[in-house]
Amino acid sequence: MVCRDPRWGRCYESYSEDTRLVQLMTSSMVTGLQGDVPSKHPKGVPFVGGSKKVAGCAKHFVGDGGTQRGINENNTVLSFHDLMRIHMPPYDNAVIKGISTVMISYSSFNGVKMHENKFLITDTLKNKMYFRGFVITDWQAVDRITNPPHKHYYHSIEETIHAGIDMVMIPDDYPEFVADVVKQVKAGQIRLDRVNDAVSRILRVKFTMGLFEDPLPDPRLAKELGSKEHRAIAREAVRKSLVLLKNSKKGQKEGMLPLSKNAKKVLVAGSHAHDLGNQCGGWTIKWQGESGNNLTGAGTTILEAIKKAVSKNTTVDYVERPDKDDLAKGAGEYDYAVVAVGEPPYAETAGDNQNLTIPSPGPEVIKDVCGLVKCVVLVVSGRPLVVQPYVEYMDALVAAWLPGTEGQGVADVLFGDYGFTGKLPRTWFKSVDQLPMNYGNKRYDPLFPFGFGITTKAVGHN
């Protein structure tokens, strides 16, 4: 998916607003999941390279990142040319890499529900792009074609299967679905060759996965989940993905970062400084995720990472919401402050946000702390948020995104064990009135442009 509007609640599931970047990441992801396709492998034929690989799914086909006002499951209004130019290329890359399955989007394209769009599913994806894996619906999607859901269900089944759907996700009343399909096949409403095509595609993927020879997964791989090796890779991903957006106030010659490990006293503040749930975001253990430190188990918060990074002689004060008057009295004691603010966890429609403001008391914490103490602000979020009104208060600003459980990766770059190398994969706007605004638009006036990021050098390794 190519997210073209950060107001969309699934934007953090997209690699970028830029089609080319999404193409590159898609190819790498499919290869990582399924293995590298052999030379001369037929385009579109699924490939899974052994028992330690899995079948991948490219989703959500197609254009769900371009819905109007970033509203989930909404209508994408584009010319066919722009759909093919912006949103389709990553799917072509996935097909070339042997993707096994493609999931259809809840959204519509120019008013036509994607689950009923035969032209895009069958004529384009299957026939023109040569996709030979199977097409699957999203969760309960056949019901949700109509409003209210499940209205004209019998007709919706016929339309989706004729459109090219091969497998249907049905969470509840599957006997009704089975009975309706059988009835329509017997009545000739659903052609038998369409059923045979769907079955052959599903069996093809199963054969590619080796399920006929060995239908059970290898349980030995489960012990590797959450291993030291996995966490080391996750920590590396954190430090490479953080983006330094500002490193000094106007007139200052030296940048604030990297921070000194030998400071006498530092302040850590903000709702996201000591919260693994906020660091991980949605789709973490639970569908919507959950704030707090009780959900994910093992992990390192940003506060814990800072405490591990600094000298044993450094005093680290943590106050989530400092009192302004108390802070004014003791501000001179602090060498610097780290303020971590951002979004609560969310997934899908729950994350749709027409304002994209930092939730209170985040803005107040920024102004109160950074107005009195030299500070770096970490924005922990799945997308750019409104920060322009507060940038003047900050000495340094970092887009920390959703760093997950390995908060030590944040400290790695804050304290200079590694340099900042990350670049913005999407435009950081000034105000939501500018949205949607993407790289290449005629009226492009961002706070920080696509591809921006200040680089720093490492000052030494621990």
Which of residues 220, 246, 261 is at a domain's end? 220
pLDDT in the model for residue 461: 42
* Predicted structure pTM score: 0.96
pLDDT (tens digit, 9 = 90+) per residue, 186-214? 999 999 999 999 999 999 999 999 999 99
Q: Average pLDDT of the chain? A: 97
Are 234 and 175 in a shared domain? no
Q: Which is nearest to 9 in space by CA: 377, 348, 450?
A: 348
Residue 281, pLDDT above cutoff 90: yes
Asked, for residue 215, whether it belongs to a domain, the answer is: yes
pLDDT (tens digit, 9 = 90+) per residue, 350-372? 999 999 999 999 999 999 999 99
pLDDT in the model for residue 295: 83
Are 319 and 417 in a shared domain? yes
Are 279 and 343 in a shared domain? yes
Are 119 and 171 in a shared domain? yes
Catalytic residue chosen out of the listed positions 13, 17, 92, 138 = 138
| Confidence band of 297 (pLDDT split at 50, 70, 90) | confident
Asked, for residue 368, whether it belongs to a domain, the answer is: yes
Are 193 and 255 in a shared domain? no
For residues 169 and 141, the answer to whether their CB atoms sit within 8 Å is yes
Q: How far apart are CA 97 and CA 38, in angstroms?
A: 10
Q: Which is nearest to 72 in space by CA: 370, 343, 350?
A: 350
Domain of 89 in residue numbering reads as 11-220
pLDDT in the model for residue 182: 98
Catalytic residue chosen out of the listed positions 17, 92, 158, 348 = 348
Residue 167 has phi, psi (to 5 degrees) of -135, 140
Are 99 and 188 in a shared domain? yes
Are 383 and 361 in a shared domain? yes
Asked, for residue 246, whether it belongs to a domain, the answer is: yes
Are 175 and 311 in a shared domain? no
Rg (CA), the chain: 25
Are 111 and 149 in a shared domain? yes
Percent of the chain with pLDDT over 90: 94
Residue 389, pLDDT above cutoff 50: yes
Are 171 and 197 in a shared domain? yes
Give the single-character DSSP code of 311.
Answer: -
What the block records as the tokens of 271 is 């709702």
For residues 100 and 46, the answer to whether their CB atoms sit within 8 Å is yes
pLDDT in the model for residue 460: 65
138 is an active site residue: yes
Which of residues 157, 192, 220 is at a domain's end? 220
| Confidence band of 462 (pLDDT split at 50, 70, 90) | very low
pLDDT in the model for residue 73: 98
For residues 17 and 427, the answer to whether their CB atoms sit within 8 Å is yes
Are 194 and 235 in a shared domain? no
**How many independent structural domains does the chain possess?**
2
323 is an active site residue: no
